[in-house]
């Protein structure tokens, strides 16, 4: 994807995200309200109180093909357990109690915040196109840190770790 193609698509994607977040605003709850036990060891109160979660039957994905981005059709069709837009993430109902999934999506919340929406979407789309979903750089960070969480070792400050990995990426 060229930068020009991205610039043309960005307002459409961002507009769709804003519309979607507005549509689900009344169903969004702070992550802190779910009472997960381990997340506070990894994320500060600021993040857990400000990040929001919406439980849905299927996570909403932008209609990328309809926006002229046919090359992302596989991603559009892929049904994931969670997806994050800005400070809000969506999880499917049957995994709504999965603390590890929430941990993963919170990594993306931090990535959105640190990078800003335009840079996040550019890096995500570019990574998806060049490496595929699982090996795209922003997902690699989220999965690596999630593996550490799942392994159950000593808690670490995720925000600092994400910042470190993002600055190494540039």
Binding site for Zn ion (CB under 5 A): 139, 142
Closer CB to Zn ion, residue 26 or residue 151? Answer: 151
Least distance CB 139 / Zn ion (angstroms): 5
Closer CB to Zn ion, 4 or 20, in the complex:
20
Give least dist CB 26 to Zn ion, A.
25
Residue 3 vs 98, nearer CB to Zn ion: 98
Rounded Cα distance, 154 and 13, in Å: 38
Strand pairing of 29-30 and 52-56? antiparallel
Contact 62, 16 (CB under 8 A): yes
Residue closer to Zn ion by CB (options 10, 143) is 143
Q: Minimum distance between the CB of residue 91 and Zn ion, rounded to whole angstroms?
A: 11
Min dist CB 58 to Zn ion, Å, is 16
DSSP-derived secondary structure letter, 51: -
Give the 3-state secondary structure of residue 68.
Answer: coil
CB of 102 within 8 A of CB of 39?
yes
């Amino acid at each position: 994807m060229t930068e020009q193609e991205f610039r043309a698509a960005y307002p459409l994607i961002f507009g769709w995200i804003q519309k979607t977040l507005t549509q689900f605003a009344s169903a969004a709850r702070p992550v802190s309200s779910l009472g997960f036990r381990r997340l506070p060891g990894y994320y500060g109160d600021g993040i857990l109180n400000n990040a929001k979660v919406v439980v849905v039957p299927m996570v909403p994905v932008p209609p990328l093909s309809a926006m002229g981005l046919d090359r992302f059709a596989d991603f559009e069709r892929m049904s994931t357990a969670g997806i994050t837009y800005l400070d809000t993430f969506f999880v499917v109902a049957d995994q709504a109690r999965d603390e590890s999934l929430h941990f993963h999506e919170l990594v993306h919340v931090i990535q959105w915040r640190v990078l800003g929406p335009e840079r996040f979407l550019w890096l995500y789309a570019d990574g998806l196109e060049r490496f595929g979903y699982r090996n795209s750089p922003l997902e690699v960070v989220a999965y690596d840190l999630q593996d550490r969480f799942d392994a159950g070792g000593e808690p670490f400050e995720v925000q600092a770790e994400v910042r470190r990995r993002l600055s190494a990426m540039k």
